[in-house]
Chain A
Amino acid sequence: MNKMKKYLLCILGMLSALVSITSCQETNEIEKLYLTRCWQLSSVYGTAADVNLYVDFDEDGEFVICQLTDGYTYAVFKGTYTTTVDGDKSVLSGVYDDGTPWVSDYTYVVDSTRRELILESVDSPSVTSVYVPAEMPDYTRGVGFASANIVKPL
C-alpha cells in the first residue's frame, strides 16, 4: 500500500512538474509574442524621458536599438536576444553584433494589451525602464546632423 502510495505521489509530482513547465513555457511564449514589436522608451528610473530611443524585437530573436544622440544622428545597434524563464519571471538577454553583451540581463513584463513593456535590471532591481509601442524611424535615411550638408571649402 505504501509502495502504491509512493508511486502515485511520484506520478502526481511528475504530472504537476510537467504542467508547471508547460505553463511556464506557454507564459514565456506569450510574453515573447507580446514582446516582439518596436518600443520607445517613455521613462527611466521613474522619470518621463522625452528622448528618441527605440528598441525593436523581432520574432527571429534579433533586435535593433535606435537612439537619437549627439548631433541629432541616430546611433543604431543590432544583435540577438533570448528569452528565458527564471521562476515566475521572464528574462531577456542579448548580445550586440560586435560581441558585446548587454550591460545586464533584464526581467520583462508586457501587459496583455501590449501597451507597455517594463524592463528591470537583474543586477540592479530598482533600475527600471518603461517603453510604449512606437514605429521605428527610418534610421537609414541620412547621415545625420553633424555632416548633413556635404560642403567643403574650395
Chain B
Amino acid sequence: MKRVFNIIFATLLLSACTADLEEQRVSVANGSINDKIVNGSEGSVEGSLLVRFETSAESRLAECATRSGATRTGIGGVDALLDEVGGYSVEPVFVVTERNREKVYAAGLHLWYELHFDKTSDVDAVAAKLAGEAEVNRVQFVHRVYRVDSPKAVGCSEVELSADTRATNTTDRIPFNDVYSRYQWGFNNLGIRSEVKKKSVEGQESSVVGADINVVPAWKLCKGDPSIVVAIVDEGVMNTHEDLAANIWVNYAELSGKTGVDDDGNGYKDDIYGFNFCHMNGTISWDKKRDQGHGTHVAGIVAAVNNNGIGVCGIAGGSGNSDGVRLMSLQIFSGSDNATTSNVVRAMQYAADNGAHVLQCSWGYLSAETEGVSSINLGPANDRSYKQLCGLEANAIDYFIKNGGTADGPIDGGLAIFAAGNDEAPLTCYPAAYEPCVAVAAFNPSLRPAYYTDYGPGTDICAPGGESLYDYGDILSTVPPVEGLVAKGTKCYGLQQGTSQACPHVSGVAALGLSYAKQLGKRYTAKEFRSLLLSATNDIEPYLTGGIAFSDIYGNYYSYNYEDYKGKMGAGYIDAYKLLLQVEGTPFKVVKVGEEVEVDLSLYFGDGLANAQFLRTEISADENTDAEVSVGEYSDGKIKLSCAKRGVATISVTMLVGGGSLSDGTKPYPTEVTRKFVVIAKERASANGGWL
C-alpha cells in the first residue's frame, strides 16, 4: 500500500524532490488506489496529514475552525479514527480572520485541515481510512521543503571588491553612487566587466553590450515606491543589512505592539518583518549553520537601497530617500530546517493577506525531464499533474494571484514569479511552469542561455542569472555574514548564479513597473500586468548560435549547443524600460477611413514575438462610435486592418508564449499574453501622422 511517490519541495532550484509522479499518475488513472490520496508517504512528516473536506462538512467544521487547540473535527467517522490513532490536534491550514474570511471561503481554502496524531501510527493506513470517509475530498501527506545542492552550483563567495584594480569605469551610466554597482552587469552590461575565463572553456563568447535588463533609462521614470511590497519566500532576509534595512517591510502594529500578541489581528504574533514559517514564529533568521544567504541575495537584486554610497543597487531600490519598494521576508528555509507543505502555503496566504504585490520564489521541484535522475525524484510534467499532486500549493498560488496587492494599489491581485530551474532540462520545473505563474530562465553575460538553466515549455521569459564561467559573471548582491560565506570583517556582498538570481530580476522589474503604475494612478488586473511584463522583452534568438564545452574539477565533460534553445526561452529577455513605457499608456493609431494599414505586432509584443504563437484578435468599441474595424489574417508577425467609418475601437491581440499548446495537456500550458492598442478612424488624416 505504501506508495513510492512522494513530493518534496526542492529548493533554491538546486533542489530535488523525491516523488514517483509517473507511478502515481498511472495508479490514479487506473483507479487502483483511492483517488482521494493525491501523493505518497515516503519521506513525509510522521503523525500528520492534510485533508480537504467536502463543502457539505463546512458547518460542522466551523466550530473546530474557530476553537484554538481543537482536537476533533465534528465529523463522526473522522473523529472516531482520530480517537483510534491518538489524534491531538486539528487545525485549519489557512488562517481565517475577519479581514480575509470572505476571500478564503471563496477560494475554498477553509476546507483544508491539518490533522496531527500519534507518530507511531501507520500514516498510510490512516490516510486510507480517511479517504474512505464520504466527507473527505482529498488526503495529502505532509512533506518538507528540502535543500539539495546542485553539484554544479557556485555558492555565494566573499569578494573583496574594493581591491579590484579595474574598479573605475568612467562610462558607467548607472545614476547612483553605490560603489559596487559597476559589477552589476545584469543591470548595465557594458561588455567590459564580465570577461571570459578562457581556461578550459571552449567556444565561450565575450560579454555583450546591452545583455542586461535595461533598467538605467527606466530609473529616469521611476526608482521604486514604498507602497509596493515584494514577498521574498526563501531563506530569511537579513533585515539589518546595511544595504537593505531601509527597504525592509515593517508591520508597525506589531513593532509597536506587545510581544506574544497578535496586535494587528492578522492571525500571526510578532510578525514585524514577515514571518518564519520554518519555526512558526516572528523571528526571521539568516545566519544559521547551513544557511546560504540565498534570501538576502535575492532580496538585494530586487531592492537593495540605491544611492546610499555603499554596496550595490536594487532594481526597485528607490533613490536613497526611503522610497524603494518594500521587502517582506517569508522564511521557508532556516539552516537545516525546512518548512512543511502546509507552512509553505501559509506563507503564500500571508503574502496575499498582508498586501504583497509580488511573490518572489526562487525554488521549485526538479524538472520532469532532468537527465540522470531517478524518476522517483522528478517533479510534475504538466499542469494537470501539478494540480492533482500538489493541489494545496496550486490553490495557495491561485489565492495569492487573486487576492494579493492592496485595494488602492496599482494591481488587483498579485504576481507569482518563480525560477525556471537549474536542471539543464528542456522542460521548466514546477511551480514555475504552472500557467498562472511567471517562469524565469537565465542568461549569461554574453546573452546566451546559462548552462544550468531549464528552458522549453513553461518558460515565460529570461533574465540575467549569471554564469561562473565568466570573470565576475555571477550576480553580485547582498549576503548575510554566514560562516563560510563571508569572512569576518569583510563586506557583506557576494556572487551567486542560478535561475534563483534571474527570477528576482523579473520580480524587481515587475515591482518597478508597479511603482510607476502607482505613481501614474493606474490600476491593472493581475493578468493584464502579467501581459505587460511578458511583452516588455527583447529577442534573444539571434544569440542562440554556437555553443560551449568545459570540464569540471572532477574531469566530467559538459557541452551545450545554443541552437537547442531556439524558440524555447519564452518571450525573450526582460526590459525594464519597455515595461515602464507600456505602463505609461495605450498606444494608438490614426487610420484613414477606408484605407488598409498593416500593423507590426512586434511593436506591441516586444522583439521576442518570433517565439510566440498567434491566438486571437478581439475588437471592442462603443456602439455609437464604432469604427467598424475589419482585421485580416495574422501573417508573419503582422495583421492588416481597415475601418469602415469614423470612430474609435480597441484592438486586443493575444499570443501564446512558453511553448506547448492549450489543448495538449502533456506539457505545461503556454501563457496567454494580450496587448491592446486603440484605433481612431478619421475621414481625413494628416499626411505626416500628426493628430490635428
Complex CA distance for A137 and B212, rounded to whole angstroms: 26
Select from chain B the residue with minimum beta-carbon distance to A119.
B692
**Which residues of B come within 8 Å of A, CB atoms?**
205-206, 208-212, 214, 217, 220-221, 447, 538, 542-543, 575, 577-578, 581-582, 584-589, 599-600, 602-604, 621-622, 624-625, 646-648, 677-678, 680, 682-692
Partner of B691, one of A67, A148, A153: A67
B581 touches A103 (CB 8 A): no
A72 touches B578 (CB 8 A): yes
Q: Mark A45-73, 1 if CB is under 8 A from B, else 0.
A: 11101111101000000000101111111
Select from chain B the residue with minimum beta-carbon distance to A79.
B690
- Interface stretch, picked from A4-12, A82-90, A93-101, is A93-101
Partner of A53, one of B577, B578, B588: B588
Taking CB atoms, residues of chain B closer than 8 Å to A94 are 692
Taking CB atoms, residues of chain B closer than 8 Å to A144 are 581
Query: Can you give 6 A-B contacts (C-beta < 8 A)?
Result: A51-B587, A65-B691, A77-B688, A119-B692, A141-B220, A145-B603
A100 touches B584 (CB 8 A): no
- Give the 5 A-B CB pairs with smallest separation, nearest first: A52-B585, A151-B210, A71-B603, A72-B581, A153-B542
Tell me how far the C-beta of A21 lies from the nearest C-beta in chain B, rounded to whole angstroms.
28
Taking CB atoms, residues of chain A closer than 8 Å to B211 are 151
A68 touches B584 (CB 8 A): yes
Select from chain A the residue with minimum beta-carbon distance to B210.
A151
Taking CB atoms, residues of chain B closer than 8 Å to A103 are 682, 684-686, 692
Partner of B584, one of A44, A46, A137, A151: A137
B209 touches A151 (CB 8 A): yes
Tell me how far the C-beta of B465 lies from the nearest C-beta in chain A, rounded to whole angstroms.
17
Complex CA distance for A77 and B209, rounded to whole angstroms: 32
Complex CA distance for A70 and B589, rounded to whole angstroms: 7
Given contacts A72-B581, A103-B686, A149-B538, whether A53 and B691 have CB atoms under 8 Å apart is: yes
Using C-beta atoms within 8 Å of the partner chain, give the interface range for chain A.
35 or more
B691 touches A55 (CB 8 A): yes
Select from chain A the residue with minimum beta-carbon distance to B646.
A45
Taking CB atoms, residues of chain A closer than 8 Å to B621 are 47
**Which residues of A come within 8 Å of B, CB atoms?**
41, 44-47, 49-53, 55, 65, 67-73, 75, 77, 94, 96, 98, 100, 102-104, 106, 119, 123-124, 127, 137-138, 141-142, 144-146, 148-151, 153-154
Complex CA distance for A153 and B210, rounded to whole angstroms: 10
Select from chain B the residue with minimum beta-carbon distance to A70.
B603
B688 touches A123 (CB 8 A): no
Given contacts A145-B578, A148-B575, A151-B210, whether A51 and B688 have CB atoms under 8 Å apart is: no
Taking CB atoms, residues of chain A closer than 8 Å to B688 are 77, 96, 98, 100
Tell me how far the C-beta of A50 lies from the nearest C-beta in chain B, rounded to whole angstroms.
6
Partner of A70, one of B587, B622, B684, B691: B587
Select from chain A the residue with minimum beta-carbon distance to B688.
A100
B692 touches A106 (CB 8 A): yes
A148 touches B687 (CB 8 A): no
Tell me how far the C-beta of A98 lies from the nearest C-beta in chain B, rounded to whole angstroms.
6
B217 touches A146 (CB 8 A): no
Complex CA distance for A104 and B683, rounded to whole angstroms: 11
Complex CA distance for A106 and B538, rounded to whole angstroms: 42
Taking CB atoms, residues of chain B closer than 8 Å to A100 are 686-688, 690
Complex CA distance for A149 and B482, rounded to whole angstroms: 37
Taking CB atoms, residues of chain B closer than 8 Å to A70 are 587, 589, 599-600, 603-604, 677
Partner of B208, one of A47, A55, A154: A154
Given contacts A47-B625, A103-B686, whether A148 and B217 have CB atoms under 8 Å apart is: yes
A51 touches B586 (CB 8 A): yes
- Identify 7 new A-B residue pairs, CB closer than 8 A, beyond the known A45-B647, A46-B622, A151-B211: A50-B585, A67-B691, A68-B587, A70-B587, A124-B683, A150-B210, A151-B538
Tell me how far the C-beta of B214 lies from the nearest C-beta in chain A, rounded to whole angstroms.
4
B625 touches A45 (CB 8 A): yes
Taking CB atoms, residues of chain A closer than 8 Å to B208 are 151, 154
Tell me how far the C-beta of B306 lies from the nearest C-beta in chain A, rounded to whole angstroms.
19
B589 touches A142 (CB 8 A): no
Given contacts A67-B691, A69-B587, whether A104 and B542 have CB atoms under 8 Å apart is: no
B603 touches A52 (CB 8 A): no
Select from chain A the residue with minimum beta-carbon distance to B606.
A145
A55 touches B692 (CB 8 A): yes
Complex CA distance for A126 and B155, rounded to whole angstroms: 69
Given contacts A45-B647, A149-B214, whether A68 and B680 have CB atoms under 8 Å apart is: no
Complex CA distance for A154 and B585, rounded to whole angstroms: 34
Complex CA distance for A95 and B448, rounded to whole angstroms: 50
Complex CA distance for A95 and B627, rounded to whole angstroms: 27
A49 touches B584 (CB 8 A): no
Complex CA distance for A98 and B624, rounded to whole angstroms: 36
Complex CA distance for A77 and B581, rounded to whole angstroms: 19
Tell me how far the C-beta of B522 lies from the nearest C-beta in chain A, rounded to whole angstroms.
10
Taking CB atoms, residues of chain A closer than 8 Å to B684 are 103-104, 123
B690 touches A65 (CB 8 A): yes
Select from chain A the residue with minimum beta-carbon distance to B588.
A51
A141 touches B584 (CB 8 A): no
Complex CA distance for A45 and B602, rounded to whole angstroms: 29
B689 touches A75 (CB 8 A): yes
Taking CB atoms, residues of chain B closer than 8 Å to A151 are 208-211, 447, 538
Tell me how far the C-beta of A72 lies from the nearest C-beta in chain B, rounded to whole angstroms.
4
Complex CA distance for A102 and B687, rounded to whole angstroms: 9
